[in-house]
Copies of this chain bind each other. A is one copy, B any other.
Amino acid sequence: MKYILILLFSGIVANAQIKKEQLNLMPWPQTINLSEGTFALNKNFRINITGNPSPRIFGGATRFLRRLDGRTGLFFEQDFLTKLNSAPTAQLQINCTKSGKIGLYEDESYHLDIKQNQITINATSDLGALHGLETLLQMLQNNSTSYYFPVSQISDFPRFTWRGLMMDVARHFQPIDVVKRNLDALAAMKMNVFHWHLVDDQGWRIEMKKHPKLTDLASDGSFYTQEEIKNIVKYADERGILIVPEIDVPGHASAILTAYPEIGSKVTIVSSGNSENSSKAAVVTTYSIERNSGVFSPTLDPSNPKTYQLLSEIFDEVCPLFPGAYFHIGGDENEGKDWDSNPKIQEFKKKNKLATNHELQTYFTMQLVPMLKKHGKQLMGWEEIMTKNMSKDAIIHSWRGPNEGVGVGESLTAAVKNGYKTVLSNGYYVDLVLGVESHYLNDPMPKNVSLTAEEKARILGGEATMWSELVTPTTIDSRLWPRTAAIAERLWSAEDITDMNSLRKRLAVVSFRLEELGLTHIKNRDVLLRNIANNQNITALADFSNICEPLKVYTRNKGGVEYQTYSPFTLFADACVPDASDAVAFNAVVNEYLANKTSENKAKVTVFLNKWIGLSPSLISLSANAPLIQPILPLAKNLSDLSQQLVNVLDNKATVAPAILNDLLSKCNSKDYGDVELAVYGSLKKLIE
């Protein structure tokens, strides 16, 4: 009887009129109106599609149906949608005026109208309809026994046309299933560009029929076949996503030069003969795949016609694999060291009146423009390609910022003022493992700079970048998600959607839903922890990982040489993530306590402290059979010691000298253990001050 009452009661509560702030939509729609009433979901739920959409909507609607069915367990009767108007009386009606074209500037808007007996999605193109289906999934509510959608009207469209993610598959190869599940996640977050960084110093990842040496010698056997690439392009197209391939030249060329050293810039002089009668001769330098991280000197020779012949042949083979209109040629971080030391290249510069290496690189890049144009592709490159002689057709990918000694938004502003279209990545480097706030509040539209409407229109949007020095297929999702969802919202939603509390609340749900979709960022943490714990209970380790974060901004991999591409990324730091959950929660209770020192608020703080006092002995005990726990024990001990003193202080059990507290605090600020830092340090500091 008690049980029945609970059910009834919760049913009543849950079906009460929902408020906007209770919805866990992401990216947040442009306009949303909630009315009273609900659409009740049951096993008869069906979908009907009308209008003139691309066939991709059939797959999209079928996937929606399966996901909704998986989530609700309702056993929908409808199986596969394969044609127009196959269920005219269906509760969900989708109408699209036209077939969506994958690329920029397509109409991606949709109107979602949920009534008590009927749901409609109206969209110009099926791309908009796909977005509408994602929003509808996010609108699902439940009480204790059933599922429903709240009656509502949503009108929605993206703020920016380029909402992208770059994935580096060169430094650590990412198999097809990794790419596919991340395309699913992009689609769920209404992102529409996947920038595929396919070539770098650490590997060439594209099967080449005419130049098999590139994969034979420079891939370690890890690359995509051309059929696999076509398959991925199709998979992306089905989800409304444009793929922009990148072959990074003329720098970052170790892999290419491993296969074709003859087009490298470095001069190697070999002495022959004896010491008295020696002669010196330049020979072809040999290169090898780079195993470390960093900026390296191997660079293509821009004075060598063979360089252009090879690149032209490469583009002839690679361009047709990608139907999209853009091709990224990299162009970043060429320091020109090997150009400076090569007399032939110096002579070439002089002959062509190229004053600087930068001008030489522009000369080089301009040779690629027609090679790509031949295949209907527009050239895109990292911001270094921008010089006065660079074609205005080129898209400038703005990436440098304060970390690189450049002002925020500097190259972006310069690009649009110079007449270039541009995409922002500075501030969206998710591989730096920074907290979500820094990305979320980073707007592509520069503040405090006056831009004309035309200039503003040249800001196409932004792109999260996932460089793969420190990630494997097991860990990459945890570096991408859920933070990239916040970037998706920045690029889709209105400029004034910036509330961090709302973002954090919604992001927690989005994260869970991304796991439902197939992402591995949550479940793989436990896999790593089980390995670290050597198959013992992982509770203590998980608790500790909830307050530790991996070292940030490439400080983990000291000088780029501590780790190699084949190093074990199975360590405690790999299981930790930015925005460590208990650290965020602790910070909130500390703020609450400092604002209002009630005993209740104090208790909330000490719950955490007491937990951490117990962590150290638990981890020591585990480590008796788990060597991989050893590196983090000192850090756990430091936290335990400080927590113990703080509990004493807070409970007035003892007075502790400030110097002692500060000493213990500074030990909690260490970055010397296990490549992690204590994410609660800041909150602890506040408590002590």
Contact = CB atoms under 8 A, between A and B. Distances in A.
Contacts of A145: 627, 630
Contacts of A88: none
Interface residues of A, number: 65
A10 B146 contact: no
A373 interface: no
B512 A535 contact: yes
A74 B420 CA distance: 49
A527 interface: yes
Given A526-B526, A625-B144, A627-B72, A509 B535 contact: yes
A10 B72 CA distance: 49
Interface in A494-537: 508-509, 512, 515-516, 522-524, 526-527, 530-531, 534-535
Residue among A66, A143, A220, A566 with the most chain B CB within 10 A?
A566
Contacts of A627: 72-73, 142-147
A420 to B, nearest CB: 40
A87 interface: no
Interface in A158-194: 175-177
A69 B623 contact: no
B144 A624 contact: yes
A564 interface: yes
Given A10-B625, A175-B177, A526 B523 contact: yes
B566 A66 contact: yes
A210 B225 CA distance: 22
A620 interface: yes
Contacts of A404: none
A68 to B, nearest CB: 9
Contacts of A176: 176-177
Contact of A512 (B7, B147, B221, B530): B530
Interface in A133-153: 142-147
Contacts of A527: 515-516, 522-523
A568 interface: yes
Given A3-B620, A144-B624, A620-B3, A531 B71 contact: yes
A571 B73 contact: yes
A570 interface: yes
A79 B10 contact: no
A142 B221 contact: no
A348 interface: no
Contacts of A623: 7, 144
A630 B570 CA distance: 38
A570 B80 contact: no
Tell me the number of copies of this protein.
Answer: 2
Given A75-B567, A177-B175, A526-B523, A531 B70 contact: yes
B625 A142 contact: yes
A528 to B, nearest CB: 10
A633 interface: yes
A70 B624 contact: no
A59 interface: yes
Nearest to A291: B79
B70 A142 contact: no
B70 A144 contact: no
A366 interface: no
A568 B75 contact: yes
Nearest to A569: B70
A276 interface: no
A73 B568 contact: yes
Contact of A566 (B79, B534, B568): B79
A254 to B, nearest CB: 14
List the 8 shortest-distance A-B pairs measured between CB atoms, nearest first.
A177-B177, A10-B624, A523-B523, A70-B570, A512-B535, A70-B568, A69-B568, A227-B227
Given A74-B568, A144-B630, A509-B535, 20 more contacts: A7-B623, A10-B624, A59-B221, A69-B566, A69-B567, A70-B531, A70-B569, A71-B531, A71-B570, A72-B568, A73-B568, A73-B628, A75-B563, A144-B623, A176-B176, A177-B177, A227-B227, A227-B228, A512-B530, A523-B523
8 contacts: A59-B221, A66-B566, A70-B531, A142-B627, A175-B177, A227-B227, A512-B535, A523-B527
Interface of A: 3, 6-7, 10, 14, 59, 66, 69-75, 79-80, 142-147, 175-177, 220-221, 225, 227-228, 231, 291, 508-509, 512, 515-516, 522-524, 526-527, 530-531, 534-535, 563-564, 566-571, 620-621, 623-628, 630, 633, 637
